Amino acid sequence: MDLHLANPNLVDPEFYVPGLPVDWVTARYGIPADEVAKLGSAENPFGPSPLAMAAIREEVGHIHLYSSWTAEPLREAIAEKYGYAPENLVCGSGETEVIALIIRAYAEPGGKVLMTRPCFPMYHLFAEAEDRRPVYIDTPTMSCDVDAYIDAIEPDTRIVFVTNPHSPSGTWLEEADVRRIIEAAPHALVALDEAYVHYSDTPGHIHLAKEYDNLIVLRTFSKAYGLAGLRLGFGVAHPDLIPPLLAVKPTWNVGRLQIVGGIAALADDGHVDRTVAAILGGRAHVTERFGELDRFRLVPGTRSNFMLIEILDPDTDSTRVFNGLLERGVIVKDGSVSFRGLGKRYLRSDINLPHRMDRLVDALADLP
């Protein structure tokens, strides 16, 4: 079949590369599932919020009924938690859907979308799929050079993505620097992606959406709340920014189970606190253990539940190390495959419980 595509970028599209599942490693290498350290998807080591699970079970009998098309009960709960009104919020089937809505609503075909390189791939994948133009600022130090980023904001820049903590390095921007970027782009929409903010051990910068009418702050339920498979995220912004996003989203993009699960998870501070404490402990543990290695180093400054590993050995590269780790039952991300512009010298690994960090370090030490 030879059908015409209105967007030539979709003729041979690039796809997101997720972390491998445990059963893939088990099938390929015969390693029992409980012996595989899955460190390529930044998932919650304790599983889903128990309160969310209870709410979902109770709601299952109602899935023959349509949900609120705006996810209004969830918008109300998020608004109450963070001191906003429901009109400040848009909810999506994962934060990734909200990113797609932003690109569709706030950049015209050919419009410039500014991002670092490397970055969360969905920024440029969605931009290209919608025939928008990604504009990159390289980050050789794996942290955002705020002055360079501000210099790259042009009069025709439509969207500015700021990821905090940064992906894939986990480095952190203080509030003053975030404000500088927002104030340098009054004509553009600044999308502050705080998907991993719980692990920064700060409240994040979600309060800034009260002050700026060109800012949307994005968050997800996939990480600290442990609801990655439920698919739920949201954006907080000035009320005038929300209606265009509601207009372009699929009508019932958030279902009843997502709504009740999200509401319950927001109240589950105990689960979040336990998760964050465990990740902070795992971060300290793995940082110390990496001192034993001379062929690899951690890129310093991560404030997330993942870390960037630099390969110092010139006789190997990220793909060889990635495959060697798989053979030893450890799943990470090959930077050259998962992040455009990262090259062959880096791997991204989750930060997880200490025994899984030991599996990673021991496997790296065991590589020939």
Q: Could you give all domains of the chain from N- to C-terminal order, each with its CATH number?
A: 19-47+270-366 (3.90.1150.10), 50-267 (3.40.640.10)
Kindly list the distances between the CA atom of residue 135 and the CA atoms of 38, 125, 156, 161, in Å, as whole numbers in the listed order: 33, 12, 11, 10
pLDDT for res 25 = 97
Residue range 313-327: average pLDDT? Answer: 98
Q: Token digits for 169?
A: 């390095």
Residue range 343-350: average pLDDT? Answer: 97
Kindly list the distances between the CA atom of residue 147 and the CA atoms of 144, 162, 225, in Å, as whole numbers in the listed order: 9, 13, 34
pLDDT for res 6 = 75
What percent of the chain clears pLDDT 90, i.e. is strictly above it? Answer: 96
Kindly list the distances between the CA atom of residue 239 and the CA atoms of 40, 164, 314, in Å, as whole numbers in the listed order: 36, 23, 52
* pLDDT (tens digit per residue) in 103-155: 999 999 999 999 999 999 999 999 999 999 999 999 988 999 999 999 999 99
- The arrangement of strands across the sheet holding 133-138 comes to 89-92, 233-237, 215-220, 189-193, 157-163, 112-117, 133-138
pLDDT for res 278 = 98
**Predicted model pTM:** 0.97
Pairing of strands 189-193, 215-220: parallel
Q: Packing angle between helix 354-366 and helix 318-327, nearest 10 degrees?
A: 120
pLDDT for res 2 = 65
* pLDDT (tens digit per residue) in 16-39: 999 999 999 999 999 999 999 999
